[in-house]
Amino acid sequence: MMMRTALAGMIAVLGCQAALGAEQPVPKNVLFLLTSEGFAHSPTVAKDGEPPLAEKILRPILEKMGASLTVTYDASTINAENLKNYDLVMFYTQGDLTRPNMTNTPPMGPNGQTELIQWIEKGGRFLGFHSATDTFDVEGDVITPYISMIGAEFKTHGQQFVGKVQVVDPQHPAMARIPDGWELNEEWYLFHKFNVDAIHVLALMDPGAERAKQEMYNIAPYPVIWIRALGQGRVYFTALGHREDLWEGQQFQQAFVDAVHWLMGTGDPQAEPNYRKVVPDAAAK
């Protein structure tokens, strides 16, 4: 029943995609990295010989766009020479990718972070899901090049709850079908080390009544979807994606389609840094 519901959602998304027309910019070759050093989220885990859920959901959507999708746990694929083969790279990753990982696949080389960032600066497009901000994070005040690129670092999270997404830039094309006030059950990451001078915040999460239940969420609404321009390239991050039912939902899938169209665009990215303008209490941080 669950996969039937997911299939119905994909059909609706693909129908909407067709209605948008051929003028929408799309990728040709997409690389999707799912490597985890210490904790693998269930949408990234292959089970019983089947592809991981994230692949099952995104492959038909991307193929309908005309894109070729490569899904891998091999972090060594992030190198300057191989990245030339792709125009969009997606991470649903966790941990230090240069270390041994849970699938015993080759690790990223020592220059991987640098070469990925250089690829983006030269026009590459990057999309990070959920724990992509729990990748190349380190203790203390150090900010790794990767964290600076993606825009913030995972700090912690509590128990899952229904939070409310507050859209702060409703006119942005990447937010075309994310409604203001979207309520969803999710594992809500908390962040620190925001690259406030680089990111353009698209949406915040309001913890609502959860403030009285979990002290860590007794805070003002904070960013959960943001973008940035980096050289000639573009970066999109969404904190969403922990739960399988979210991946199977039409709303999440359509948001992915809109994100890809924005990423592949060539005009004004509409990515002026706005953290201090739209994040409550930003001036005090």
Pairing mode of beta strands 68-72, 233-238: unpaired
State which H helix or E strand residue 82 sits in.
Answer: helix 80-83
Average pLDDT over residues 210-232: 98
pLDDT at 107: 98
* Residue 283 buriedness (CB in 10 A; 0-12 / 13-18 / 19+): exposed
Q: What is the CATH number of the domain that holds 40?
A: 3.40.50.880
Range of the domain at 143: 2-284
Q: Report the pLDDT value the prediction gives residue 14, as an integer from 0 to 100.
A: 53
Q: Report whether pLDDT(281) > 90.
A: no
Residue 223 has pLDDT above 50, yes or no: yes
Residue type at position 159 = Q
What tens digit of pLDDT does each residue of 1-53 get?
A: 445 445 545 545 555 554 444 478 999 999 999 999 999 999 999 998 899 99
Q: Rounded distance, CA 52 to CA 43, Å?
A: 6
In the predicted model, is pLDDT for residue 193 greater than 90?
A: yes
Predicted pLDDT of residue 1? 47
Residue 143 has pLDDT above 90, yes or no: yes
pLDDT of residue 229 exceeding 80: yes
Inform me whether the pLDDT recorded for 202 exceeds 70.
yes
Please count the structural domains in the chain.
1
Distance, in Å, from the CA atom of 88 to the CA atom of 4, rounded to the nearest integer, reads 29
With contact defined as beta carbons under 8 Å apart, do 54 and 34 qualify? yes
Tokens 């002290």 belong to which residue?
A: 215
Q: How far apart are CA 129 and CA 148, in angstroms?
A: 16
Structure pTM? Answer: 0.92
**Rounded Cα gap, residues 102 and 238, in angstroms:** 23
Q: Which residues are CB-contacts of 244 (< 8 A; sequence separation ≥ 6)?
A: 2, 42, 43, 53
Percent share of the chain, pLDDT over 70: 91
User: In the chain, at which residue ranges do the beta strands (DSSP E only) sit?
Assistant: 29-33, 68-72, 88-91, 125-129, 153-157, 161-167, 182-186, 189-192, 200-206, 222-230, 233-238
Q: What is the pLDDT of residue 18?
A: 44
